[in-house]
Structure 1
C-alpha cells in the first residue's frame, strides 16, 4: 500500500550560490555517509549538483511522509546513498522507499514513493 509520494525541484545555481558563500552548508544537508561521497567529488560544479540532488530527495521524502523537513525528519535523519548498482536508496524502518534523482544543467529533481512494509526490496 502506498503511504505517500513526494517530488521536489531545485535550481542548482541556488545551491551553488549558497555553497560558495557558506561551504559549511553541506554539513547541514548531508549525513556522514553522504559527506564521504561528496568529499571524493573533485569538480565544484559536480559537488553542487550532488548537493542539490540530495537536498531535493530529502525534501521529496519528507513530503511523501507528509511531514515536511524539520517536523519528524531533518536533513540528517534521511540518508540517501547509492546501492550496489548506483541507484539512490533511502532506508526507513517500516517502509519501502523508492527514489530517483535527475539533473539537468539548471535543475535537480527527485521523486520518492513510500510503501508501507519492509524497508528492503524482496
Structure 2
C-alpha cells in the first residue's frame, strides 16, 4: 500500500552559492557514507549536483513520510546511496522506498514513493 509520494525541486545555483560561502554545509546535509562518495568526486560542478540531489531527495522523502524535516527525520537520518547499478536507494525498516534523482544545468529534482510493507 502506498504510504506517500514526495517531490522536491532545488535550484543548483542556490546550492552552489551556499556551498561556496560555507563548504561545511556538505557535512550538514550528507551522511558519513554520502560524504565518502562526495569527497571522491573531483569535478566541482558534479559535487554541487550531488549535494543538490541529496538535498532534494531528503526533502522529497520527508514529504512522502508526511513529516517534513524535523524531529522525526533530519538530513543525517536519511542515507541515500547508490545500489550496485548506481540507482539511488533509501532503506527504512517496514517500508519499501523508491527514490529517483535527476539534474539539469539549473535544477536538481527528486521524487520518492514509499510503500508500507505488510
TM-score normalised over the length of structure 2? 0.98
Structure 1 stretches lacking a partner, 5+ long:
none
- Between the aligned partners of 2:43 and 2:21, the Cα distance in structure 1 is 17
- Residue in 2 aligned with 1:96? 96
Distance in structure 2 (CA, Å) of the matches to 1:96 and 1:66: 15
- Structure 2 residue 41 is the aligned partner of structure 1 residue 17: no
Tell me, in whole angstroms, the C-alpha distance in 2 between the residues paired with 1:71 and 1:6.
18
Q: What is the RMSD computed on CA atoms of the aligned residues?
A: 0.8
Structure 2 spans left out of the alignment, 5+ residues: none
Give every structure 1 segment of 4 or more consecutive aligned residues whose post-TM-superposition deviation is greater than 2 Å. Answer: none
CA deviation profile, 1:19-78 (whole Å, cap 9, x unmatched): 000000000000000000000000111100000000000000000000001131000000
Scaled by the length of structure 1, what TM-score is found? 0.95
**Number of residue pairs matched?**
118
